[in-house]
Structure 1
Amino acid sequence: MHFEVPKLPMRGVKDFAKHYLMIVLSILTALGLEAWIEHVHHRHAAELASHQIETELRANLDGLQATYLTNQKRIASLQQLDQAISTDIRANLPANTINQHIQARKAQFNLSLDWPIFGNQAWDVAVANQSATWMDSTTLNNYSAAYSKQRDAANWMTQDSTLFLDAPLMANLRTRIDLGREIDPIEFVSVLHQMIITSTETQSHLKQVGSQLKSAFSSEKGCN
């Protein structure tokens, strides 16, 4: 910051006071202008970061919705298989007859779930260059909660999503079915229920993330 005050000859206290006042006003003006420029810079940086974050979150939500719909179709297939074989068991059909029905529908015995890729680069940049700190508190809290929910859901997917699943038994049944060997219908339905529970839990987490993402910006896009 640099300012120049006109050099005038001083004649007494009055001229000195005027000269002093000019210096003070010049300093205050310079400081005010500097603060205004800095405020404008911070505001523009926050607006740019907010735009980039919302673009990223909307892309995340679009990917989540597509994944959710794909998974729903696969869950419906598992539920149809469960209903058919459970009906056979309740009707006390012979095990070999039930095994024939399982063989006819073995393609449906498949746990295949998609998980979206959640971008977080815009948020990381906003935190790194401190533009996040120049946003209003409500907006900042909404963004922070959205990215936190994404991380929590991703951690659940990688660490806890298979807690309800007996993976060795599922692999054993899959192998026997592929080889055309007879299996225990009750064991089959038991594993099938585990697969359905795992799938619906995954969908529940996706739905929670979707709700949090929608709350991060005003224009809501549903997750059915």
Structure 2
Amino acid sequence: MHLELPNVRLHSLKDFAKHYLMIVLSILTALGLEAWIERSHHAHAAETAGRQIRAEIETNLSDVRTSIKANQALIAPLRALGEVVSQDIREGVPAAVINQHIQARKADFKLSINWPTFASQAWDVAVANQSASWMDGAELRHYSAAYADLRDASNWITHDSIILLNAPSMAALHTRIELGAPVDPLEFVTVLHQMVNTSEETQSHLRQLESHLVHALAKEDGGAAHG
């Protein structure tokens, strides 16, 4: 802030008081204008960041819903195969016949999971340039929670998603089936159930994440993100 003071001679106390008041008013006006400009800048930056963050969360939400829909189709053949073999075992069907049923549907014996790649660039930029700190408190909490949920979901699929899956047994069974070799029906259906459970657990995490992202996009007036 720079003030250009008038170069005048003061002849009385009254002149001095006027001159002093003018300087004070000039300083206050300049400070007020500077504060207003700074507030306007912060408000604009926060509004822009909020718009970009909402668009990014909406994109992530759309990708989550796409994965949920894709996984429903991927799980169905696996679940159906498990039901067929389980029913054969309950009815005491010979292992040789069960193996024939497995061979007939061996294309369904695969674990396929669709998982989205989450974007976070808008949030990272807002945090880096501090525009996130100028947002409304409630709005900021919603967005912060949404990105924390995205990180947690990504960590789960990376580290814990296959904790209940016996991957070596699955690979060994897949090799035997591809070569036309017989497999133990009980071992097969046990691994198959692990594969189904892993897929369903993934779906559960995606649905939970979907609800969290919808909540993050919900407006204060009770409106919500459209599906």
Tell whether the structures are fold-level matches, with TM greater than 0.5: yes
Q: Which runs of 4+ in 1 moved over 6 A?
A: none
Q: What is the rounded CA distance, in whole Å, between the counterparts of 2:2 and 2:169 in structure 1?
A: 78
Q: What is the rounded CA distance, in whole Å, between the counterparts of 2:51 and 2:204 in structure 1?
A: 28
**Pairwise CA distance, 1:5:** 3.9
Q: What is the rounded CA distance, in whole Å, between the counterparts of 2:6 and 2:198 in structure 1?
A: 79
Which structure 2 residues correspond to residues 57-76 of structure 1 after superposition, within 5 A? 57-76=57-76
Is the partner of 1:216 in helix, strand or coil?
helix
**Pairwise CA distance, 1:66:** 0.6
Q: Could you say which residue in structure 2 is the equivalent of 1:204?
A: 204
1:79 lines up with 2:79 in the alignment: yes
**Pairwise CA distance, 1:14:** 1.9
Letter of the structure 2 residue corresponding to residue 18 of structure 1: K
Q: What is the rounded CA distance, in whole Å, between the counterparts of 2:212 and 2:28 in structure 1?
A: 45
Normalised to the residue count of structure 1, the TM-score between the two structures is: 0.96
Deviations 1:63-94 (A, max 9, x none): 11111111111112211111111111111111
Q: What is the rounded CA distance, in whole Å, between the counterparts of 1:217 and 1:160 in structure 2?
A: 28
Q: Could you say which residue in structure 1 is the equivalent of 2:6?
A: 6
Is the partner of 2:212 in helix, strand or coil?
helix
Q: Could you say which residue in structure 1 is the equivalent of 2:128?
A: 128
Q: What is the rounded CA distance, in whole Å, between the counterparts of 1:206 and 1:121 in structure 2?
A: 21
**Pairwise CA distance, 1:7:** 3.7
1:194 lines up with 2:194 in the alignment: yes
Q: What is the rounded CA distance, in whole Å, between the counterparts of 1:105 and 1:20 in structure 2?
A: 94
Is the partner of 2:161 in helix, strand or coil?
coil
Q: Could you say which residue in structure 1 is the equivalent of 2:225?
A: 220
1:90 lines up with 2:90 in the alignment: yes
Deviations 1:123-169 (A, max 9, x none): 11111111111101111111111111111111111111110000011
Greater shift in the superposed pair: 115-124 or 14-23: 14-23
**Pairwise CA distance, 1:221:** 3.4
Q: Does structure 2 retain, via aligned residues, the 8 Å contact 1:60–1:119?
A: yes
Q: Give the share of equivalent positions with the same residue, in percent.
A: 59
**Pairwise CA distance, 1:205:** 1.2
Structure 2: state its 5+ residue gaps.
219-223
**Pairwise CA distance, 1:209:** 1.5
Q: What is the rounded CA distance, in whole Å, between the counterparts of 1:19 and 1:135 in structure 2?
A: 41
Q: Could you say which residue in structure 2 is the equivalent of 1:140?
A: 140
**Pairwise CA distance, 1:11:** 2.8
**Pairwise CA distance, 1:8:** 3.8
Normalised to the residue count of structure 2, the TM-score between the two structures is: 0.94
Q: Could you say which residue in structure 2 is the equivalent of 1:55?
A: 55
1:176 lines up with 2:167 in the alignment: no
Q: What is the rounded CA distance, in whole Å, between the counterparts of 2:135 and 2:126 in structure 1?
A: 10
Is the partner of 1:215 in helix, strand or coil?
helix
Q: What is the rounded CA distance, in whole Å, between the counterparts of 2:23 and 2:208 in structure 1?
A: 60
Q: Could you say which residue in structure 2 is the equivalent of 1:32?
A: 32
